[in-house]
Structure 1
Amino acid sequence: MTRFGIDAPTLLHLVAEEVPLAPGHQLVAAQALRSQALGLLFDAVRRGELSETEALRRHEVLTGIKVRLLGDRVSRRVAWHLAREHDLEIADAEPLAVTRLQADLFVSVDPAARARAEGIVPVGSVERLSTP
């Protein structure tokens, strides 16, 4: 089994592109993942990129995706240390902290997020999620 740390843009990508998760793989993320994803959907509606109906449909789909959410004191403390060490925002450090603590690889569709993760945690491609 491979455990993948993900961020909100990646969760939305999985929904929008209907990316299947290979059997045996597990997704892990920071507790704020679903709220962040909802915020990204709302922003897409405001920009006219998605209809409200489609955004709410995607939100329903993403709530059904099994993700182990972590938000304990240890993961927040690790996020704090990573943010200090690497000059990151806490929101950017949280997925990396969760990955460091509970996952094998960090996966993101966001090139900036992947770049931030390099040298902090192992980074993989989104395609790995579908590969056994």
Structure 2
Amino acid sequence: MTRYVIGLDVALVLAEQRAKIPGHHRLLAPTLLRSQVLAQLFADVQHGLVTRKEANQRLDYLRGLQIRLLGDRSLQQVAWKLAEELGWKDTFAAEYLALTKLQADALVTRDVDLMWAAGKLLTLASIDDLLS
């Protein structure tokens, strides 16, 4: 079984495509993913990029993926340390790195800045890897 931490960008792509995740993969994300997804889909509806019905369908799809959402004290401590080391202004992105470092095999993101930071610290994977 391969454990992947997915970023917001990847969660949204999976929801848009309604991608089938192979049973031998497990998805993880920081608990903040839930709020990030909701906020992004709300903004997309407000900007006319998707309909409210489509946004709800994407939310339902993501709820059905059984993503293990984590945000314990250990993750927070590691995220804090990583954000400090990387000189970031907040810990949001660092939570994805911390979770990958603590509990996953690889991080899946299309965010170039996050990929750059993660590439120095942990293993990266692509959406294709996740879907295979």
* TM surpasses 0.5: yes
Q: Is 1:9–2:17 an aligned residue pair? A: no
Query: What residue number does 1:27 align with?
Result: 27
Once residues 48 and 112 of structure 1 are traced to their aligned partners in structure 2, the CA distance between those partners, rounded to angstroms, is 27
- Does the aligned pair in 2 maintain the 1:20–1:129 contact within 8 Å? no
Q: Give the counterpart letter for 1:42 in structure 2.
A: F
Once residues 57 and 51 of structure 2 are traced to their aligned partners in structure 1, the CA distance between those partners, rounded to angstroms, is 10
Query: What residue number does 2:121 align with?
Result: 120
| Aligned-CA RMSD value | 1.2
TM-score (normalizing by structure 2) = 0.93
Once residues 125 and 60 of structure 1 are traced to their aligned partners in structure 2, the CA distance between those partners, rounded to angstroms, is 23
- Does the aligned pair in 1 maintain the 2:28–2:68 contact within 8 Å? yes
Q: Is 1:95–2:101 an aligned residue pair? A: no
- Does the aligned pair in 2 maintain the 1:7–1:95 contact within 8 Å? yes
Once residues 128 and 121 of structure 1 are traced to their aligned partners in structure 2, the CA distance between those partners, rounded to angstroms, is 16
The alignment-based identity, stated in percent, is 37
Structure 1 residues not aligned, in runs of 5+: none
| Count, aligned residues | 131
- Does the aligned pair in 2 maintain the 1:10–1:108 contact within 8 Å? yes
**Deviation per residue, 1:44-79 (Å, 9 max, x gap):** 112211111211121111111111111100000000
Structure 2 residues not aligned, in runs of 5+: none
Instruction: After the TM superposition, list the runs of 4 or more consecutive aligned residues in structure 1 that deviate by more than 3 angstroms.
Output: none
TM-score (normalizing by structure 1) = 0.93
- Does the aligned pair in 2 maintain the 1:10–1:110 contact within 8 Å? no
- Does the aligned pair in 1 maintain the 2:18–2:61 contact within 8 Å? no
Once the two structures are TM-superposed, the CA of residue 110 in structure 1 deviates from its matched residue by 2.6
